[in-house]
Amino acid sequence: MEQLLAWEQVHARRNAKVATNFFDQLMRHRVWDYSEANVRWLRERGHQRVKRLPVGYVPELSRVSARGTPDVDVLFYGSLNPRRTSILDALRARGLRVEALFGVYGQARDAWIGRAKVVLNMHFYESKLFEIVRVSYLLANRKAVVCEHSVMNDDDTPLCEGMAYVPYDGLVDACEALVRDDARRAQLERCGYELFSRRDATRLMAGLLGLPVADPVSHAASRPE
């Protein structure tokens, strides 16, 4: 039986035709989804072959080379809409250097991440599901993250301690404060990495598949700080 890994919000898509095609694909396959909210939504519509796949850490995720002196104050990447553009414009009005990327992936995106003091995570959809796949990559690479309040899986909530976690109306102030506070940024970079790297992906997958689970592995020295 074919299986799908689903990393998107399933019930808040912009284009009706795309949304229908996406839903049809999900209903024809066994699905592993990152979000418990997505899992519930699909089960309510009759999908009985969907399970949640928690996002975990592997050392290969820690691959972004940090720039010695970051020259970007706030980095954001993703599609733009009015609620996102409003925040970016307000940050620029504070005199911050803001870079907004779309369609930039892989090494090119990683180079920008390495140049940023702060990376901003804010929602496109009003459903506000936590973008764990995006944020976890940043935490794995010891980046200071400002994250908008989110609808989270229960086991993701401890990660809030490793980010500046604020409501939408507090995003601009939080970004500016973090850009100007080197010590606070360094503390969040360490804390976020430590919290996420405890979530060993191999152990999580073994548990889901009912396989023997090896002793936990420490990733504390996976990459020099």
Strand partners, 31: 4, 50
User: What DSSP assignment string belongs to 131-146?
Assistant: -HHHHHHHHHTT-EEE
Rounded to an integer, the average pLDDT of 163-178 is 98
Radius of gyration, alpha carbons of the chain: 18
Mind listing the pLDDT tens digit for each residue in 120-133? 999 998 889 999 99
How many other C-beta atoms are found inside a 10 Å radius of the C-beta of residue 214?
A: 10
Q: 59 pLDDT band (50/70/90 cuts)?
A: very high
Q: Given the structure tokens 């009015």, which residue do they identify?
A: 82
Residue 50 confidence (pLDDT): 87
For residues 108 and 205, give the distance between their C-alpha atoms in angstroms, rounded to a whole number: 30
Tell me which of 3.20.20.60, 3.40.50.2000, 2.40.110.20, 2.10.50.10 is the CATH number of domain 59-197.
Answer: 3.40.50.2000
Whether 196 contacts 162, CB under 8 Å: yes
**Does 220 have pLDDT greater than 60?**
no
Residue 18 confidence (pLDDT): 54
Strands 144-148 and 116-121: parallel
Q: 224 pLDDT band (50/70/90 cuts)?
A: very low
Residue 185 confidence (pLDDT): 98
The residue that leads in pLDDT, 210 or 157, is 157
Say what the pTM is: 0.85
Mind listing the pLDDT tens digit for each residue in 5-54? 777 777 665 545 556 777 788 888 888 888 888 888 888 888 888 888 89
For residues 82 and 122, give the distance between their C-alpha atoms in angstroms, rounded to a whole number: 12
For residues 221 and 3, give the distance between their C-alpha atoms in angstroms, rounded to a whole number: 34
Q: Which element (helix H / strand E) includes 42?
A: helix 36-44
The residue that leads in pLDDT, 40 or 96, is 96
% of the chain residues with pLDDT over 70:
90
Query: Average model confidence (pLDDT) for the chain?
Result: 89
For residues 90 and 170, give the distance between their C-alpha atoms in angstroms, rounded to a whole number: 11
**Does 221 have pLDDT greater than 80?**
no
Question: What is the domain partition of the chain in residue ranges?
Answer: 3-52, 59-197
Rounded to an integer, the average pLDDT of 178-194 is 98
Residue among 148, 146, 147 nearest 117 (CA): 146
Strands 72-77 and 98-101: parallel
The residue that leads in pLDDT, 50 or 187, is 187
